[in-house]
Structure 1
Amino acid sequence: MRPFTIGELRSVVVVGAHPDDIEIGAGGLLLALPAGVQVRYLVLTGSPVRHEEARAAAATFLGHADVTFRAESLPDGRLPEHAGTVKDVLESVAGPVPDLVLTPSATDLHQDHRLLGTMAPTVWRDSVHLQYEIPKWDGDLTRRSVYVPMSDEVARRKVALLNEVYPSQHGRDWWDDEMFLGLARLRGMECRARYAEAFTCDKLVLGL
């Protein structure tokens, strides 16, 4: 596991249980990735319509990257019942050791998210693993250990793109600009930035 900065990343794996997980949790980080970075993008559940939204999201947030997109149709809310299949899918996209792996948090109260956060370190043992947060009704936001600051411009661009590529979610009571920007502002305050995304990292090697 080698130390890195975002600008030095050459290969990244991003994993979501559901379409929109990745961009809600790490859309700002995706926008900051360097041009030409290789990204393996994986979503485990979703209908054909939702998969098309995820494909559009990958193209929009990662238009500057070399993206390999994959979407599975495992049952939403029941990934733990299909843990063996989930592990097989993760291992099938593991490929060469990536610099960075992004997944939901292992402490997330949604069972699908939690499974991916727990399982990823057993697949990518030599990569930096950042676990992103997804705000929800369950109220499981916790203290985070890694922050990626966002300027006002980047934070608002992230929210605008979320609205653009995920129209199916507009009717949800939690989906609005105020919620996304409010969380980003809170995390920004915690790292002395205007806005930020926050992650958990269980293991990181620091260069000397």
Structure 2
Amino acid sequence: MTPLTLPPGALDVLCLGAHPDDIEIGCGGTLLTLAAARDVRATAVVLTGAGERRDEALKATGRFLPGAAVDVRVAGLRDGRLPAAWDEVKDTLEGVAGGLRRPDVVFAPRRDDAHQDHRLIAELVPTVWRDSLVLGYEIPKWDGDLGSVTHYVPLSDAVARHKVELLDDCFPSQTGRDWWDEEMFLGLLRLRGMECRSRYAEAFTVSKATLAF
């Protein structure tokens, strides 16, 4: 498979999630891999989250980017109601963009995600960050919306298992859910790994990218 290569040197990374744990479920293994390989400056923005969930969000992303400079922001909008708060979501994203240099890569939900909160963020991201590489991550859910992908990040066995351990450790409020377990998380990583001839992998969709020679 032909690799898509990020620019050399330090990377400015932006991670966007509708809910605490979206970022870490969608691209936690990729963040662990990036942090081990490159100098990373990261901003993570979570649009919902209150109480225990807010606390989880504030602590989690830094655990997945050990050694990196990480700024985590939680907007605290209502879970499940982001489309009704369109102006607030757009203003939040525009405010983040106005205070940052252009990120080298943006991690965000994929545009065909079945959850309305995820989907709204995915639809707005290209209107705010027009000149950045946007990688749309996937989040497994009962809706059964997993589809075809365009890009993969192979993960080592150690990184895949560390991701699952961190998910349990960082999000204790979610561990009792019937879908939240090691078998589900590793199963998806294994499936995507098989597709790119790796043991494990995370998968993404890219709608636009520039090929440089």
Shorter chain as denominator, the TM-score bin is over 0.9
Q: Distance in 2 between matches of 1:206 and 1:84?
A: 34
CA shift at 1:6, angstroms? 7.7
Counterpart residue type for residue 21 of structure 1? D
For 2:182, the equivalent position in structure 1 comes to 177
TM-score when normalising by structure 1:
0.95
TM-score when normalising by structure 2:
0.93
- Is 2:134 the partner of 1:129? yes
Q: Distance in 1 between matches of 2:40 and 2:89?
A: 25
Aligned length: 206
Structure 2 residue corresponding to 1:69, chosen from 72, 75, 78: 72
Contact 1:9 1:99 in 2 (8 A): no
1:32-181 equivalence runs, <5 A: 32-34=33-35, 35-94=38-97, 95-181=100-186
Question: After alignment, is 171-180 or 90-99 more displaced?
Answer: 90-99
CA shift at 1:9, angstroms? 5.2
CA shift at 1:8, angstroms? 4.4
| % identical equivalent positions | 56
- Is 2:198 the partner of 1:193? yes
Q: Distance in 2 between matches of 1:65 and 1:96?
A: 17
**Aligned to 1:15, what secondary structure does the other structure show?**
strand
Give RMSD over aligned pairs. Answer: 1.4
Q: Deviations over 1:106-159 (max 9, x none)?
A: 100000000011100000000000000000000000000010000111100000
For 1:13, the equivalent position in structure 2 comes to 14
- Is 2:30 the partner of 1:29? yes
Measured at CA, do residues 131 and 171 of structure 1 come closer, stay the same or move farther in structure 2, by a change above 3 Å? same
Q: Name segments (4+ residues, structure 1) moved above 4 Å.
A: 6-9
Q: Distance in 1 between matches of 2:130 and 2:83?
A: 21
Q: Distance in 1 between matches of 2:154 and 2:42?
A: 21
Measured at CA, do residues 107 and 8 of structure 1 come closer, stay the same or move farther in structure 2, by a change above 3 Å? farther
